[in-house]
Chains A and B, each alone.
Chain A
Amino acid sequence: MKCMLSLIVVISILPACRPATSASADDKSKVHVGIVFDIGGKDDRSFNAAAWQGVNRAAKDFPIILRDVEPGDPTSIEPAMRAFAERGYDLIIGVGFAQTPQIEAVAKDYPKLNFAIVDGVSRLPNVASLIFKEHEGSYLVGMIAAMTSRSGILGFVGGMDVPLIHKFELGYEEGAKAVNPKIRVIPNYVGVTDAAWNDPVKGKELARTQIEKGADVIFAAAGNSGLGAFDAVEQYGKDGQGRAQRFVIGVDSNQTWMKPGFVLTSMVKRVDNAVYQIVKDRVENRPIGGVHVYGLENEGIGYAVDQYNKDLIPQPAIQAVEAAKQKIITGQIKVTNAMEK
């Protein structure tokens, strides 16, 4: 009994020790934004991380209330969206194409709330579809890969074997072939389920197999699994002049800082910009339904050149890629979109 009493005493004193938490959670005048991440979680340093960065930047710039969920398993995605909807959140963002059916189900039940889905397409009037022209960015990094490769063999490690990732693969191959028609691309996919985004061990295995087959530049479009490819190229070390033997190309977020010298560039998908923009639209009360396309022309897609990789790509290569970028924007170069084939 004494033990119980002391517990009760402790528990009643503890809250008094701290300053009261900000009770601003129910300030109805502010726009409430809820974001539901993919299985990878917001620290995947890639796709989800970019979305997380975007909403956080928006939270700094606008007076919004922001809450996030990392569902952890696919069954918790829809309940999390419904929890936001029940509380009347003004904008609910789903990250990743796999959440499209869930967000549509919830959006139908709550027609007055706004929703946004990253990478997915929905026809509902209250759902904004944020999609990217990944094939165009992949084309540009494919060019850089082909200009860097000495063996004439490139690798591609995809996450889940789905049409969305085929878009990356085909664009990459077309870009590489534009530079060197004889180049060969070895494509491999981590898996066919959600787990494919979160399996760095398998990612590494695939990258090593490709290197053993002769590939010297590997494009990893596999979320968390792609980090395995980073480890694989690092294992092959650098030559006498301090240049890496094998290179990896990052995806979604700029990943050149992660293994400096080994990361040739990153196919940057500005999920952060897209998410930031949709929050801004909601705050400024613009209608947000419909398809929002992000490509080279509006800086939604790009390739990374910064202090970590500027010595890896020679200036003429950059000029060639920039020229191709302008031609894609003006329509002179047509990159095949694998999802519209």
Chain B
Amino acid sequence: MSRIQGYAKNAYPLANFLAPLRGARYTAQLMKLIRELTFPLIAILAAFLVGGILVALIGDDPIQTYALLIGSALSWPDGIGYTLFYATPLIFTGLAVAMGFRCGLLNIGAEGQLTVAAFATAWAGISFANSSAWMLIPLTCLVAIASGALWATIPGVLKARFGSHEVINTIMMNFIAVGVASALTQTYFKQQGDPILETLPIGDGAHIPRIGQIIPGIPARIPLNMAFVVAVLACALMYVFLWRTKWGYEIRATGANPNAAEYGGISVKKQIVLAMAVSGGLAGMVAINEVLGYRYRYYQGFSPQYGFTGIAVALLGRNHPAGVLVAALFFGALTRGGLFVDIFTEKVSKDLVLILQALVILFVAAEAVFRRRMGKTESQV
């Protein structure tokens, strides 16, 4: 037992756990929370302002356009249902990228990890199609997580063992993933004569229920499914993992300062591999939504770059599970609203949404500049 482990086990979680009970600590934490929220909110507001000016310059009414954007994203039941549905994969990929960031790694391979996971999940769903749902759903979910984790472990090991940079390796693995999945689909798993590059359907037992089947009043046409509940649970679990367990503490220590962590007795190499595996597992969970809950098959090109949008989600969510959840919901709402803006306005296209996303990220990234300025004025006072 090293000193760090002892510290992590005793003092650290205890202090955190008791924090809300102490009045002064509580207000301090509240202030911290408000401070954490201020900048993303300002960034979103500023992005909408600039976006509004662009809309006006293009020649549409910004207020009507935003009313359409927000109204269609929050209408009941279709708007909310689709917003949550679009947010689900982004929660997973946002968490995946955030997990990497916490260990000082930039995992831009979430796209490849979720592609491999989706294919592997479909494979399991097809191969064991005759099993009962009690067997098949846990099995396919496990395959989704394990295959994503495995795909991410490869660049993790390469980084830990040989020091090759994870950015290069993960992005290369993305291409390999898409190539392998489409080749296998084309040769072994395609329906004869199907003009679309997709696998056979998975067994009925592997279908996870849609929310409409559980909560009455939500029409079954909305593809929102149990994967959303899994995603929210994943946020909670990731919080517990990072801030309440020894492994999480070691990962964060590695991310904060690998040299100090090494000196403190943490095996940095092990943490890199572990963080990449967890990150890949989270990215792989996208397959639960897409394969088990929505399409019931692997479909070539099913992901409109969830893995890369996940980077933006993690950035906006400040690499915190709660932040990721909120940011993913925001991006989900933008996706849903953007479609309606694209169709039902005269001139504005769905590129407005891309511009808004880019502006939000730009303003969030500019935060460091603001902070430095504020820090200066404070220190001058």
Contacts and interface: CB of A to CB of B under 8 A. Distances in A.
Interface of A: 4, 7-8, 10-11, 14-15, 18, 20-22, 25, 34, 67-69, 73-76, 79-80, 82-84, 86-87, 97-98, 101, 109, 160, 162-164, 192-194
Contacts of A22: 346
A143 B117 CA distance: 51
A73 B304 contact: yes
A68 B350 CA distance: 12
Interface string B276-318: 0000000000000000000000011111100000000000000
B56 A160 contact: no
Contacts, number: 79
Given A79-B339, A109-B221, A192-B186, A21 B57 contact: no
B67 interface: no
A173 to B, nearest CB: 21
A83 B340 contact: yes
A109 B220 CA distance: 9
Interface string B90-107: 000000000000000000
A193 B197 contact: yes
A8 B56 CA distance: 13
Contacts of A15: 56, 61-63
Interface string B187-207: 000000101110000000000
Given A20-B61, A68-B343, 13 more contacts: A11-B53, A11-B62, A25-B344, A69-B342, A69-B343, A73-B301, A73-B304, A75-B304, A109-B219, A109-B221, A163-B195, A193-B182, A193-B197
A21 B60 contact: yes
Contact of B52 (A11, A18, A76, A109): A11
B343 A67 contact: yes
Contacts of A7: 49-50, 53
Contacts of B46: 4
Given A15-B63, A69-B342, A193 B300 contact: yes
Nearest to A75: B304
A156 to B, nearest CB: 18
Q: Range of interface residues on chain B?
A: 35 or more
Contacts of A8: 49
B288 to A, nearest CB: 17
A152 to B, nearest CB: 33
Contacts of B363: none
B362 to A, nearest CB: 15
Contacts of B346: 21-22
A97 B193 CA distance: 13
12 contacts: A7-B49, A7-B50, A14-B62, A15-B63, A20-B61, A73-B301, A73-B304, A74-B301, A82-B78, A83-B340, A160-B195, A163-B195
Contact of B56 (A11, A68, A84, A97): A11
Nearest to B336: A79
A166 to B, nearest CB: 11
A46 B64 CA distance: 35
Given A14-B53, A15-B61, A160-B195, A34 B78 contact: no
B82 interface: yes
A14 B56 contact: yes
B339 A14 contact: no
A73 B193 CA distance: 22
Nearest to A164: B195
A80 B82 CA distance: 12
A259 B56 CA distance: 40
A97 B52 contact: no
A160 B197 CA distance: 11
B59 interface: yes
A109 B221 CA distance: 7
A98 B196 contact: yes
Interface in B21-73: 46, 49-50, 52-53, 56-57, 59-64, 72
Contacts of B72: 83
A276 B192 CA distance: 34
Given A14-B62, A25-B344, A86 B196 contact: no
A193 B181 CA distance: 14
A164 B196 CA distance: 13
A162 B195 contact: yes
A83 B57 contact: no
Contacts of B182: 193
Contacts of A79: 82, 339
